[in-house]
Structure 1
Amino acid sequence: MSGDGLDRRAFLQGGAAALGGAALALGGRAAWDAATASEPAVGPADAVGRAFVAARGVRQAGVGTPPQSFASFVSLDLVDGVDRAALVRLMRIWTDDIDRLTGGRPGLADTEPELAVVPARLTVTVGYGPGVFSAAGLDDRRPTWLAPLPPFAVDRLEDAWTGGDLMLQVCADDEVTISHAIRLMVKDARTFTSVRWVQRGFRRSPGATPPGTTMRNLMGQVDGTRNPSPDADGSLIWHESGPSWLVGGTSMVIRRIAMDLETWDAVDRTGREFALGRRLSDGSPLTGTSEHDAPDLDAVDSLGFPVIDTSAHIRRARSANPAERFLRRPYNYDDPPAPGTLSRSGLVFVTFQRDPVTQFVPIQRQLDKADMLNRWTTPIGSAVFAVPGGFQAGEYLGQRLLEV
């Protein structure tokens, strides 16, 4: 590979001297690091900005991490000619970027280092699509579940939000931090990749709700009440055995779900709660009094009808099989509306699970068949990625897969 990535790769390979004047830029980064190391201690006003999440570990950050307030998802396609050696170079570059940026330090080729000093719990999670395995000549190591999801009747998928060879999930409690991280990492990958699509999402701002509060989507629905714990229910999420590159890893499903908020607004509160099977005020099931009460799916009203309708979302999204659960980590989106409309909003529905075929797909089939919310929600994008295990000191991301 050659071109714009030359300077960056040369720095990482210890060749700064060969780049002449570029060595001065490296010195500038060192001076910047020294200057920022003596900044004042954290105070109440900037505690959110200074908080950081360690990048290195058995698992990649950004999966079990308590969700940050903002997220961007960047799907990239590999350009022609990228092979395993090129992927190794890219992963080395990205590993260094992630390690620096999440610690509040600028990247080696950072042209806006001032924007890097507010980590704000920044995490960068990298996922591999099927194209990575083909480019690296490793199709025999691709998990059988790493493929597009089967078609569902409710899907109206658009190419603009579907598929990809590589995924960058970039999350933080500050949008400037996210924007800067994406710009640096995409610039560093431009000789290897092209951008396929970008999705941006948000939750409540830092401190707006108590820690542990279940997020609400833009329909007002609590989203993620029955989430498994990344620690207590880790066997549902993490690969704990198998190929070494996947130990500590997981799978990521990204579904872009458009919401018809204009017609949803026309439904009265009773009708909305009937469709959900939960009260909007506190998320409690119609048969309970608090959010985390187990719904009584056998309860009937005075006329003998189910209190929670057979097509209510809460019923369709449940399974009697405890293995058919997955970690939800969704974000709202609210894009500028088309002329003559009031909204173009929805959910970037992100899930993590060991195996999407045995965990995600069965629940989606239940929803596909008879979920009342299908009247107001439409999946318009879909992608599946393998999230390799994390990287330790002296390693680069994906090393156990790419160096075989």
Structure 2
Amino acid sequence: MKPSRRQLFGYAGAAAAGAAVTGGAVVALDKDTPAPAPVSRNIDPYGDRQPAITAPSPRHGELVAFNLLPGTDKAALARLLRLWSADVVALGNGRPAPGDTAPELATANVALTTTVGFGPKVFELAGQKQAGPDELPVMRHDRLQDGWSGGDLLILVGADDELSVVHAVRRFVADARPFATPAWRQSGFWNGTGPDGKPVTGRNLFGQVDGTGNPAVGTPEFDATVWAADGGTTLVVRRIKLNLDTWDELTRSEQERAIGRKLSTGAPLTGTAEHDELDLEARDADGRPMIAANAHARLSHHSENDGRRIFRKGLNYVHDTGTTRESGLIFLSYQADITGQFFPLLARLDAADALNEWTTTIGSAVFAIPPGFQPGGWIGQKLLG
């Protein structure tokens, strides 16, 4: 016989009372037990350096490059950077930006960060020469498109909430309108968290663990790799289209041989764990190098590049046009010196990397990333103030 509604509610009430008596609901009922303090996930926007560089990779990111309008001089650019600096502080703390037309979309605790970059035109207006190349030489395998290349200014917004990223970018673009116009926009996603909730390196759309060889943040090796003498750094943005259809035609062992690492763990083909050192001398039963001469892991390894290192991050992307989907990687490389660190590595990979068969770079841009700022200051103040 089915219980009546009265009986059902009676059972529910009895169960709740029993839980309270036996302790099942003690935490909820005990007024003397303090509630756990909320954990802030806001990332301090102030500092000697822009914080996103050393922060974990965000789940969602968007980059917008801008071209300065003809009437924007040094003083006007300084006004824009003061506006942007106020936006960086407010949005990074989960507050509406000044003049925000949708203040309800400003959300705290989403690890939102904003990085500002300068192209060569900024240094020209400041009366200084940029300490690095205006752009990278076009590589043999590049098929660069103007719509993804160049730019006078860069905004890179990242957060663990996509709505917050879209809203923040909307504010930066609105504040820039009297001074600059967007040249290109790129958005993507990344998963740097494992199933257990712990940080992991993350994977690109090839299924490859991407970024294993990075120097560890906070180490002398990292500092020497990333930070320039002025406390800033440089950023290379490369939009790399991946041919997933032909990649999927390979066997798993063929894919791993092109990379030089195991797809399952990211371990080198000569090791068992992701961060095992590559044994570039190891050979298989047929006498062939275990890590092939053209494997990406070998060619990009610092020991094969006179000790040169970079600090790489990335965002996966998909770009749909009707029923056609383009998939790829927004490759972000931070280094103290583009000419001395990044370019020799890029040239080496362009010449021989096995992955060139399935990758095509269609966008390229370089930016100087100025130091951070303190309360009362603004981004680029030393250069333009």
- What TM-score do you get using the length of structure 2 for normalisation? 0.87
SS for the counterpart of 1:62 is helix
Are the aligned partners of 1:101 and 1:119 in contact in 2 as well (CA < 8 Å)?
no
Please name the residue that 1:287 is paired with: 270
1: distance between equivalents of 2:104 and 2:95?
Answer: 9
Please name the residue that 1:31 is paired with: none
1: distance between equivalents of 2:288 and 2:161?
Answer: 48
1:383 to 346, 356, 365: 365
Q: Structure 2: which amino acid aligns with 1:379?
A: T
2: distance between equivalents of 1:209 and 1:157?
Answer: 40
Q: Identity of paired residues, percent?
A: 44
Deviation sequence 1:317-341 (CA, Å, 0-9, x none): 11325641111111100121554x4
2: distance between equivalents of 1:203 and 1:126?
Answer: 20
The 1:338–1:375 alpha-carbon spacing in structure 2 relative to 1, beyond 3 Å, is farther
State yes or no: 1:334 paired with 2:318.
Answer: yes
**Bigger Rg, structure 1 or 2:** 2
1: distance between equivalents of 2:306 and 2:332?
Answer: 20
The 1:402–1:277 alpha-carbon spacing in structure 2 relative to 1, beyond 3 Å, is same
Please name the residue that 2:82 is paired with: 92
1: distance between equivalents of 2:36 and 2:106?
Answer: 19
Q: Structure 1: which amino acid aligns with 2:234?
A: S
Aligned ranges for residues 167-182 of structure 1 at < 5 Å?
Answer: 167-182=154-169
SS for the counterpart of 1:121 is coil
Please name the residue that 1:266 is paired with: 249
State yes or no: 1:151 paired with 2:128.
Answer: no
Please name the residue that 1:244 is paired with: none
The 1:263–1:337 alpha-carbon spacing in structure 2 relative to 1, beyond 3 Å, is farther
Are the aligned partners of 1:101 and 1:107 in contact in 2 as well (CA < 8 Å)?
yes
2:105 to 91, 115, 135: 115
2: distance between equivalents of 1:73 and 1:42?
Answer: 39
State yes or no: 1:306 paired with 2:289.
Answer: yes
Q: Structure 2: which amino acid aligns with 1:263?
A: T
Q: Structure 1: which amino acid aligns with 2:295?
A: A
SS for the counterpart of 2:181 is strand
Q: Tell me by how many angstroms 1:119 deviates.
A: 4.5
2: distance between equivalents of 1:127 and 1:119?
Answer: 24
The 1:266–1:217 alpha-carbon spacing in structure 2 relative to 1, beyond 3 Å, is same
State yes or no: 1:83 paired with 2:48.
Answer: no
SS for the counterpart of 1:89 is helix
SS for the counterpart of 1:74 is strand
State yes or no: 1:234 paired with 2:223.
Answer: yes
2: distance between equivalents of 1:141 and 1:168?
Answer: 21
**Runs of 5+ in structure 1 lacking a partner?**
1-40, 242-246
Runs ≥4 residues deviating over 4 A? 41-44, 205-209
Please name the residue that 1:195 is paired with: 182
CA-atom RMSD, angstroms? 1.9
Deviation sequence 1:268-309 (CA, Å, 0-9, x none): 111111111111111111111111111111111122111111
The 1:325–1:205 alpha-carbon spacing in structure 2 relative to 1, beyond 3 Å, is closer
Aligned ranges for residues 1-400 of structure 1 at < 5 Å?
Answer: 51-134=41-124, 136-138=125-127, 140-143=128-131, 145-204=132-191, 208=195, 210-232=197-219, 233-239=222-228, 241=229, 247-320=230-303, 321=305, 323-337=307-321, 339=323, 341=324, 343-400=325-382
- How many residue pairs get matched? 349
Please name the residue that 1:26 is paired with: none
**Runs of 5+ in structure 2 lacking a partner?**
1-33
2: distance between equivalents of 1:353 and 1:250?
Answer: 6
